[in-house]
């Protein structure tokens, strides 16, 4: 697999922006060039294909609704290549944009950047810092070839049902999970392996708020457990995973024998809202040794300090290993801090979590 631009290579990332809007192309070129990236543009996938043949970019910033060929069809071609190019979706939140963007994530896109139907240039300029971080994450991502969307695991591949004890069937155990770039697929694989009766799960995935509800509903269709977007006062209970709502921190608190969640509007923490650090810290305080913390693929360091606090509070903590991460950023930082009790490949994490939670 081709190495990412920033691994062992000091040259600036080469980014190809594919969007039929001249305003968007101009705004993204200005933002990314100012951040030291080399930017090319194409008004549709046909022009993009010609440019890719001449020079392969490190990342694509891809619109979905375009003439000649839509972004989803183009993404299928890109992901079917032997060495697919990491793609970041720049999608409108209007109409079918939400479902199409989630489809793009399932096809292998590494993330989503939203854009409104009106005032797009000003919106993108205001979001410049997040855009630059997202594109850098894409340029450093490691993506694998896909001929089609992967099917869900067969029942034979799913771990056996959780052996519930009287303690485990209460909400005395909590599993906290944090992810960013590449996390949508990592979370799908992890949650599909969680059987009914397992302890309640609280999840932070860096994602715009317009997508988290649809993302949760999609996971709910695929998984044996209930998956829903968190609402204030929801219980973290057996057989349920709560996904943080975009633009709101997710915090867990104890209420008698139960754990409940709060949605907090406070400022971004570790440059994110929701922040994995906020979730992990709240779980450390509310559950201590009755928790298991998991940090998955993602760019940056969000979650590293919080995972350390969970470990210091007696929780068992797990970081995803480099070989199975799309971006080995957040787990790497957590490992460097000594926050991880274990470092495991993604396919092994669900089993380990269940074993530790059962203890």
Q: Is 206 a catalytic residue?
A: yes
Decide if 208 contacts 230 (C-beta within 8 A): no
Q: What's the CA gap between 31 and 107, in Å, rounded?
A: 27
Q: Is 316 a catalytic residue?
A: no
Judge residue 16's burial from the number of C-beta atoms within 10 Å of its C-beta, 0-12 exposed, 13-18 middle, 19 or more buried: buried
In the numeric block, the tokens 């990592």 are attached to 186
Q: What's the CA gap between 56 and 41, in Å, rounded?
A: 13
Catalytic member of 206, 249, 272, 316: 206
Q: What's the CA gap between 200 and 192, in Å, rounded?
A: 14
Residue count (the chain): 359
Render 256-288 in DSSP notation, one character per residue. Answer: TTEEEEEEE----BTTBSS-HHHHHHHHHHHHG
Helix (H) or strand (E) holding 135: helix 128-139
* Rounded (5°) CA angle 98-103-106: 135
Catalytic member of 21, 92, 172, 180: 180
Q: What's the CA gap between 204 and 281, in Å, rounded?
A: 12
**Cβ-defined contacts of 187-190 (< 8 Å, 24+):** 187/219, 187/296, 188/219, 188/222, 189/346, 189/347, 190/294, 190/296, 190/346, 190/349, 190/350
- Report the SS3 class of residue 234: coil
Q: Is 58 a catalytic residue?
A: no
14 phi and psi angles, rounded to 5 deg = -105, 115
Catalytic member of 19, 277, 302, 321: 302
Q: What's the CA gap between 305 and 44, in Å, rounded?
A: 42
Catalytic residue set: 180, 206, 302
């Amino acid at each position: 697999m081709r190495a990412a631009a920033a691994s062992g290579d000091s040259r600036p990332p080469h980014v190809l922006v594919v969007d039929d809007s001249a305003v968007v192309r101009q705004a993204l070129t200005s933002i990314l060039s100012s951040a030291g990236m080399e930017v090319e543009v194409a008004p549709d996938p046909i022009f993009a294909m010609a440019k890719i043949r001449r020079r392969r970019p490190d990342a694509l910033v891809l619109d979905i609704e375009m003439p000649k060929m839509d972004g989803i069809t183009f993404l299928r071609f890109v992901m079917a290549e032997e060495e697919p190019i990491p793609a970041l979706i720049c999608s409108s939140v209007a109409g079918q944009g939400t479902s199409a963007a989630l489809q793009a994530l399932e096809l292998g896109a590494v993330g989503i950047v939203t854009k409104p139907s009106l005032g797009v240039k000003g919106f993108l300029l205001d979001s410049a810092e997040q855009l630059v971080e997202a594109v850098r994450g894409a340029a450093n991502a490691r993506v694998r070839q896909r001929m089609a969307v992967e099917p869900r695991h067969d029942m034979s591949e799913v771990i056996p049902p959780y052996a519930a004890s009287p303690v485990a069937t209460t909400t005395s155990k909590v599993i906290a999970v944090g992810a960013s770039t590449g996390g949508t697929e990592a979370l799908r694989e992890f949650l599909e392996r969680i059987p009914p009766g397992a302890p309640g799960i609280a999840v932070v995935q860096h994602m715009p708020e317009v997508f988290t509800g649809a993302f949760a509903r999609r996971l709910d269709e695929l998984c044996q457990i209930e998956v829903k977007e968190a609402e204030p006062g929801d219980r973290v209970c057996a057989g349920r995973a709560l996904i943080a709502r975009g633009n709101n921190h997710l915090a867990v608190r104890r209420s008698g024998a139960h754990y409940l969640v709060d949605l907090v509007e406070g400022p971004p923490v570790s440059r994110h809202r929701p922040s994995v650090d906020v979730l992990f810290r709240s779980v450390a305080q509310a559950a201590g040794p009755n928790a298991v913390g998991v940090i998955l693929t993602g760019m940056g360091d969000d979650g590293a300090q919080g995972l350390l606090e969970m470990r210091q509070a007696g929780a068992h903590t797990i970081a995803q290993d480099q070989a199975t991460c799309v971006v080995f950023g957040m787990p790497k930082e957590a490992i460097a801090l000594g926050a991880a009790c274990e470092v495991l490949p993604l396919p092994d994490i669900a089993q380990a979590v269940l074993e530790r939670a059962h203890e």
